[in-house]
Structure 1
Amino acid sequence: MSELDEWQRRVDAFWAAFDDSEPERMRAEMRALVGERPAEDATALAEWGSVHDALGLEADAVGPYRSALAAGLDPERAHQVTLQLASTLRNLGEYEAAVELLTDLEAPELGDAPAAFLALALHSAGRADEALATALTALAPHLPRYGRAAAAYAAELVGDAPE
């Protein structure tokens, strides 16, 4: 097992035992893990953002998330961090920034999570029809019946209904 794999195993163990009722201990444990990696390590930066996010310290998560994305993450991790950053921005009231990040996020490995978070961001931005249309569009393929109707209603909400 490589040194990086061993580090990731310990990060995974940290998250498996994560306890938000002990925020200082959680930050200290993640700080120690992050400290083992180079300062510009994208994955470590993402984890540092994540611990703040998970502890409800969203404002402190934004910088590390942005730094992680700028430093270069593998595509799947970049998708996860983009979604997490967008969710955090929404929680901080930066709705349009969240919408912008999520609108073109193509992350098949995340399933319909980007659509769910986009719907939340749109709703928070006061764009209720677009939010509902996004949610219905994501839901429609999973309906054993009435999926086509749900998709049509979604299109109608945003003015894309066939004439």
Structure 2
Amino acid sequence: MVTEDWEARCAALWERLDEFGREEFVQAMRDLAAECDPGDPVALFEVGGALDSTGFTEDAVGYYRRAVEAGLSGVRRRRVSIQMASSLRETGRPEEALKVIEQERARGSAEHGSAAGDDSALGYDSALAMCEALTLAKLGRDREGLSVALIALAPHLLRYQRSTVNYARGLVGLDPV
């Protein structure tokens, strides 16, 4: 079962990622996850992330899928969609990645907060847009990808938000707002 102590140890392990070899880090995360139920969605997500972060991208996708099927929720649900879509894109399945992104976008904006306590909805919405932009580019749909990226960037600008959104919409033939 994931507890506050488990979360703290997981965060500490992530902070030490660069101190480990690839296989050693994955094993350390698997050992930590083994303290939870085998189908715990958070533990599955963290093992998937460890695999992904150490170059075992294909293996990560299976853990991400299992985490979603096990009911992963909150901000980690948004994160798993971003990470899984990125992994799918980079392993030659950009069409499947785009479906994951579209399904996640249909869920609405990310929830505020997480177990770690410092994640914002806007940041993960922007990260989802970044993943979508890269996936569209991988599919040869560069103008759409640029439009998505510019729309995601607009809220972070000090000025020109409306202009940026309208230019981005124009790239794909949409009317200004």
Give the structure-2-normalised TM-score.
0.84
Q: Which runs of 5+ in 2 are unaligned?
A: 112-120
Percent identical residues = 40
Say which structure, 1 or 2, has more relative contact order (CA 8 Å, 6+ apart). Answer: 2
**Offset, 1:20:** 7.1
Distance 1:55 1:20, change over 3 A: farther
Question: In the alignment, residue 38 of structure 1 is paired with which amino acid?
Answer: D
Q: 2:40: which partner in 1?
A: 41
Distance 2:46 2:52 in 1: 10
Q: Map Cα deviations across residues 76-135 of structure 1 (whole Å, 9 max, x no partner).
A: 111111111111111112111111222342326224111111111111111111001101
Question: In the alignment, residue 140 of structure 1 is paired with which amino acid?
Answer: A
Determine whether 1:155 maps to 2:169. Answer: yes
Distance 1:21 1:90 in 2: 26
Q: Secondary structure at the match of 2:18?
A: coil
**Offset, 1:44:** 0.7
Question: In the alignment, residue 62 of structure 2 is paired with which amino acid?
Answer: G
Q: Which runs of 5+ in 1 are unaligned?
A: none
Distance 2:60 2:159 in 1: 41
Q: 1:96: which partner in 2?
A: 95
Structure 2 counterparts to residues 10-25 of structure 1, below 5 A: 10-19=9-18, 22-25=21-24
Q: Is the 8 A contact 2:2 2:42 kept in 1?
A: no
Distance 2:172 2:50 in 1: 37
Range 43-52 or range 2-11, more displaced: 2-11
Q: Is the 8 A contact 2:51 2:57 kept in 1?
A: yes
Distance 1:118 1:144, change over 3 A: same
Q: 2:30: which partner in 1?
A: 31
